[in-house]
Amino acid sequence: LQHHQGYGALRTGLLFLPVALATIVGAQVAGHVIGTAGGRKVAVIGLLIAAVGTGVAALGQGPVTVVVGISVGAAGIGAAFVASSATALGQVAHHEAGTASGLLSTFHEFGAAHVVYRLSLPGDVVAHETISIPEKARKALHHATTCNG
């Protein structure tokens, strides 16, 4: 929204506050029902909610639709994260929980980075870019570490 709609950073940040709140709500609800419904059911429902919300945001028009869709999707992701965490940590011994939790968090981040990478590839093909991935990484690092971009 910031670049597409021309909104400032503060306005964009405030518009995405419901996304953070929805993630919290999804995680809290999942935490309360996972004991009776089970991890698999919570994960499936959470991922379906995430898919619907993301679809609404992708196909909708206007900032309200985007924020509502992403918020719904975030509630589903919050629930899915609780299901994955509870399932993974429920399978390890108490003294291994810290290591398992660290691995789970690490692979969540690797997964997210991989998805961003994969989704950015079609844009490169459409834009007919010919620079390599290492060159893109170098340019991104340079941009991130210089004040003038």
Length of the chain in residues, anyone? 149
pLDDT at residue 1, as a whole number? 66
* CA 39/CA 86 separation, integer angstroms: 7
The span from the CA of 108 to the CA of 102, in Å, is 10
pLDDT band at 61 (very low <50, low <70, confident <90, very high): confident
- The answer to whether the CB of 50 falls within 8 A of the CB of 23 is no
> Of residues 28 and 123, which shows the higher confidence score?
28
Overall average pLDDT of the 6-20 stretch: 89
Check whether 128 has a pLDDT greater than 70.
no
Under DSSP, the state recorded for 38 is -
d(CA 83, CA 41): 9
In this prediction, residue 73 carries a pLDDT of 96
80-98 pLDDT, tens per residue? Answer: 999 999 998 999 999 998 9
At 21-35, the pLDDT tens digits run 999 999 999 999 999
Rg of the chain over CA atoms, in angstroms?
19
Rounded distance between C-alpha atoms, residue 116 and residue 112, angstroms: 6
Model pLDDT for residues 68-83, shown as the tens digit of each residue: 999 999 999 999 999 9
Supply the pLDDT for residue 149.
43
